[in-house]
Amino acid sequence: MLRYVIRRCLMMIPTLLAISFIVFVIIQLPEGDYLDSMVAEMQARGERVPVEQLEFLRAQYGLDQPFFQRYLTWISNILFRFDFGYSFAYDRPVLEIIGDRFWLTAILALGTVLFTWVVSFPIAIYSAVYKYSIGDHILTFIGFLGLATPNFLLALILLYLSQIYFGTEIGTIMAEQYIGEPMSWAKFFSILSHMWVAVVVIGTAGTAGMIRRIRANLLDELQKPYVVTARAKGLPPGKALVKYPLRLALNPFISDIGNLLPDLISGSVLVAFVLSLPTNGPILVNALLAQDMYLAGAIVMLEASLVVVGVLISDLALAALDPRIRLEGGLRR
Partner 1 sequence: MRGKRYVDPEPFDTSEERPLTPEQERYYTASQWQLVWWRFRRHRLAVISFWFLLILYASTLVSEFLAPYALDSRNANFVHAPPQRVHLFHEGQFVGPFVYGYRFTLDLQRMQRIYVVDETDVQPLRFFCRGDGYRFWGLVEGDLHLVCPAEGGTFFLWGTDRLGRCMLSRIIYGARISLTIGLLGVAVSFVLGVTLGGIAGYFGGLIDSAIQRVIEIIRSFPVIPLWMALSAALPVTWDAIWVYFGITIILGLVDWPGLARAVRGRILAMREEDFTQAAVLMGARPARVIGRHMVPSFASHLIASVTLAIPSMILGETALSFLGLGLRPPITSWGVLLTEAQNINAVALYPWLMLPVVPVILVVLAFNFVGDGLRDAADPYG
Catalog residues that contact partner 1 under the rule CB under 8 A: 14-15, 18-19, 22-23, 26, 29-31, 144-145, 147-150, 152-153, 156-157, 159-160, 163-164, 169, 262-263, 265-267, 269-270, 273, 284-285, 288-289, 291, 296-297, 299-300, 303-304, 307-308, 311, 333
- CA–CA gap between residue 139 and residue 122 (Å, rounded): 11
Residue with smaller CB distance to partner 1, 95 or 293: 293
The phi and psi torsions of 87 (rounded to 5 degrees) equal -85, 115
We find the least distance from the C-beta atom of residue 128 to partner 1, in angstroms, to be 18
Nearer to partner 1, 154 or 240 (CB): 154
Which CB sits closer to partner 1, 160 or 188? 160
Report the candidate in 70, 109, 89 with the shortest Cα–Cα distance to residue 305: 109
CA distance between the termini of the chain? 18
Q: How crowded is the C-beta side of 42, counted as CA atoms within 13 Å?
A: 12
Residue 305, Ramachandran bin (φ over 0: left; ψ between -120 and 50: alpha; else beta): alpha
Residue with smaller CB distance to partner 1, 38 or 235: 38
Nearer to partner 1 by C-beta: 154 or 254?
154
Task: Please tell me the distance from the alpha carbon of residue 202 to that of residue 279, in angstroms, as a whole number.
Answer: 13
Beta strand pairing call for 92-93 and 86-87: antiparallel
Q: Exposed e or buried b for every residue in 15-35, given b needs 16+ CB within 10 A?
A: eeeebbeebbeebeeeeebbb
Residues 6+ apart with CB under 8 A from 98: 84, 280, 283, 295, 298, 299, 302
Cα gap 77→68, rounded to integer Å: 14
Q: How far is the CB of 224 from partner 1 (least distance, A)?
A: 19
Work out how close the CB of 152 gets to partner 1 at its nearest, in angstroms, rounded to a whole number: 6
The CA distance from 249 to 221, in Å, is: 7
In the bound state with partner 1, the residue whose beta carbon lies nearer, of 241 and 271, is 271
| Residue placing its CB nearer to partner 1 in the complex, 123 or 265 | 265
